[in-house]
Amino acid sequence: MTNTSFDTKIVHHKADQRLVPNSKSTPIYQTSAFTFKDLDHLESYYEGHSPYLYTRERNPNTDELAGTVAELEEAPAGVASSSGMSAILAGILAVAKPGDHIVAAEDVYGGSHKLITKELSTFGIDVTMVSFSNLEKVSEVITDQTKLLYTESISNPFLRVEDLEGLVALARKKNVKTMVDNTFATPYLLQPYTHGVDLVVHSGTKYIGGHSDVTCGVLVGNEELVKAATQKIVTFGANLSPFEAWLTQRGAKTLGLRMKKQSYNAEQVAKALGEHDAVRTVYYPEKVSERGNGAIVTIELNDSIDVEAFFRSLGWVKIAPTLAGVETTVSYPVRTSHRALSNTEREKIGINDYVIRLSIGIEDYEDIVKQLEKALADSKN
Ligand SMILES: *Cc1c(COP(=O)(O)O)cnc(C)c1O
């Protein structure tokens, strides 16, 4: 571009390296749109021969992430979105239309609870929330309008493990679809789609990304439902940015390594705290999968502990209103995820001032146990 002016050169510079085909890592396609060499090329997009036009609709980085998670879940299709929440909304709207009804588990993640109870009505969707621990109760609230059963493979904070076979059997009998939030289990431990669940959703913000540096969602299922959900994500502008997709994809490379170590560590922490006289109850699931039981441990302390002092005595274990990073963190459901509930509502699901959720990281488990035991010793009443 020798014969052009500064203002032209600055956008058509010679150093352009947009195509380096043997780059070992996927480049970040940090572009809002794609260009076309002629009108035939543009036409080829609309005929379905060329995948990319505009990033809100589709981008190689989000495609790569969605494809990876779909493959890990053994589902034929996937779509990435701006957050776990937008993926959940898109999944529900792919199935339920105005006038339809869905049944959701009453112990779902706080944000999902709010979405389902406060927002779905604006789309004309009716909702019933019940405990999914007894599927007969779920069966009783299914009506002719019911289109979807919504739950989580492992619940928060008490880590109830969903009976996926029972759920799918009930849904098929009643001719309704199922959608499962698999965030806590990850496809390393459970693959709900292989059990017949129709839509599987993840907050990629958690274990799939794994490094607490990105907010993202992924939804997987069959081509038809994922296409319908993609339409919602594109139209609502709830797409994931290329850089965030790239970060999540990069984090996902170590999902197996992290889950293996974090589940092992969690098992050791659950064991040690189970023997501690300041701990009333340890909630840690059993037999989630042959690979482990997940990396979240919830405990209820007894009243020999000053809980405020416990949180002050945790040293390098930080208080964080999230989970699934490589560092061990603690969260306090009463003050964070379940803050909006009344005391009575909290009591109903078993959350009181002594319930603490631990997200176990990749450190050496002896150090995690030592740090927690020290905090318990330092916070005795
Ligand atoms: C965090 C979380 C969500 C919401 O995901 P965001 O990425 O924060 O939107 C949904 N479900 C579960 C189980 C979660 O832990």
Over residues 331-351, the pLDDT tens digits come to 999 998 888 778 887 888 889
Taking the whole predicted model, whether its pTM rises above 0.85 is answered as: yes
pLDDT of 16 higher than 80: no
Tell me how far apart the alpha carbons of residues 297 and 310 are, in angstroms, rounded to a whole number.
16
Alpha helices in the chain (DSSP H): 6-9, 39-46, 60-73, 84-95, 110-114, 135-141, 164-174, 186-189, 223-236, 242-252, 255-274, 307-312, 343-349, 365-378
Q: Answer yes or no: is the C-beta of 82 below 6 A from any ligand 1 atom.
A: no
Instruction: Write the pLDDT tens digit of every residue in 133-176.
Output: 999 999 999 999 999 999 999 998 999 999 999 999 999 999 99
Q: What is the average per-residue pLDDT within 364-369? A: 97
**Amino acid letter, 289:** S
The per-residue pLDDT for 77 is: 97
Per-residue confidence band for 1, with pLDDT thresholds at 50, 70 and 90: low
pLDDT score, position 350: 87
Asked if the model's pLDDT at residue 88 lies above 60, the reply is yes
State the pLDDT at residue 2. 62
| Among 205, 211, 216, 296, residue to substitute to test ligand 1 (most atoms within 8 Å of Cβ) | 205
Domains and CATH numbers, the chain: 6-252 (3.40.640.10), 255-378 (3.90.1150.10)
How close are the terminal C-alpha atoms of the chain, in Å?
76
340 alpha carbon – ligand 1 mean position (Å): 17
**Does residue 372 surpass a pLDDT of 80?**
yes
Stretch 214-225: mean pLDDT: 98
Confidence at residue 17, expressed as pLDDT on a 0 to 100 scale: 64
Model pLDDT, residue 339: 84
Work out the average pLDDT over 207-218: 97
Angle, CA 37 vertex, CA 35 and CA 40 arms, to 5°: 110
Please report, rounded to a whole number, the percentage of residues in the chain having pLDDT higher than 70: 98
Question: Which residue, 138, 200, 133, 128, is CA-closest to 163?
Answer: 133
Regarding the beta carbon of 157 and ligand 1, being less than 6 Å apart is answered: no
Name the residue with the closest Cα to ligand 1, atom 2.
Answer: 203
In degrees, rounded to 5, the angle at the alpha carbon of residue 193 between the alpha carbons of residues 190 and 196 is 115
pLDDT digits (tens, 9 = 90+) for 248-306: 999 999 999 999 999 999 999 999 999 999 999 999 999 999 999 999 999 999 999 99
Q: Can you tell me the distance from the alpha carbon of 230 to that of 228, in angstroms, rounded to the nearest whole number?
A: 5
Number of the ligand 1 atom closest to the C-alpha atom of 216: 7
Which two structure tokens, joined as six digits, stand for 228?
């319908």
What is the Cα–Cα distance from 165 to 94, expressed in whole angstroms? 23
Does ligand 1 have an atom closer than 6 angstroms to the CB of 152?
yes
Q: Is the pLDDT of residue 314 over 90?
A: yes
**106 Cβ inside 6 Å of ligand 1:** no
CB 261 within 8 A of CB 358: no
3-state DSSP assignment of residue 145: coil
Give me the mean pLDDT over the 187-199 stretch: 97
3-class DSSP state of 282: strand
Q: What angle, 0 to 180 degrees and rounded to 10, lies between the N-to-C axes of helices 60-73 and 242-252?
A: 30
In this predicted model, what pLDDT tens digit does every residue of 26-64 receive, in sequence order? 999 999 999 999 999 999 999 999 899 999 999 999 999
Instruction: Give the Cα separation of 176 and 170 in Å (integer).
Output: 9
Task: Report the separation in Å between the CA atom of 211 and the middle of ligand 1, taken as the mean of its atom positions.
Answer: 15
Query: For 168-186, how does the pLDDT look when each residue is reduced to its tens digit (9 = 90+)?
Result: 999 999 999 999 999 999 9
Ligand 1 geometric centre to CA of 55 (Å)? 24
* Average pLDDT for the chain: 94
Strand 126-130 to 318-319 pairing = unpaired
Side chain identity at residue 336, one-letter code? T
210 Cα: distance to centroid of ligand 1 (angstroms): 13
